């Protein structure tokens, strides 16, 4: 391929422009797909952790119900143990919820910022060379 554009005819220049534009668009699409898949993975992790927190809250509610039953049937020992377990489960659920929320905040907004910036840089370079 000829490196200098001075020796090329107009049809050759147009063909080269078309090929380079096509390549550039494909590369920008690949970059956007990669960026969005990374954000989708983070969102999946956040949703999974929040789901785990929800399950733990359900277990904690079950333990609280058991504590109420035990509280009515005994004076103190079993009942107090059930409340301690429920408190620990709720504390763990709170920690998981905070971790999940922080994962989801890293995702938002789900816009391929790097691909957009790269495309804007490419457009600026094309405009600059067109003005020459």
Whole-number Å distance between alpha carbons of 63 and 57: 10
- Of 95, 90, 106, the residue nearest 46 (C-alpha): 106
Res 2: pLDDT? 47
Distance in angstroms (rounded) separating the CA atoms of residues 99 and 45: 10
What is the domain partition of the chain in residue ranges? Answer: 46-106
Confidence at residue 125, expressed as pLDDT on a 0 to 100 scale: 81
The Cβ-side half-sphere exposure at 5, using a 13 Å CA radius, reads: 8
d(Cα 4, Cα 128) in Å, to the nearest integer? 18
Residue ranges in the chain whose pLDDT is less than 70: 1-5, 68-69, 72-77, 108, 110, 132
pTM over 0.75: no
Q: What percent of the chain has pLDDT over 70?
A: 88
């Amino acid at each position: 391929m000829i490196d200098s554009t001075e020796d090329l005819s107009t049809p050759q220049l147009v063909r080269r422009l078309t090929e380079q534009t096509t390549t550039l668009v494909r590369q920008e699409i690949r970059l956007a797909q990669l960026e969005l898949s990374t954000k989708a993975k983070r969102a999946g992790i956040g949703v999974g952790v929040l789901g785990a927190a929800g399950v733990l809250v359900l277990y904690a509610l079950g333990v609280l119900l058991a504590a109420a039953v035990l509280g009515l049937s005994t004076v103190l020992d079993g009942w107090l143990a059930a409340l301690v377990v429920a408190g620990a489960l709720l504390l763990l659920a709170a920690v998981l919820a905070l971790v999940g929320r922080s994962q989801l905040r890293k995702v938002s907004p789900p816009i391929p910022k790097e691909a957009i910036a790269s495309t804007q840089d490419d457009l600026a370079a094309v405009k600059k060379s067109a003005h020459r």
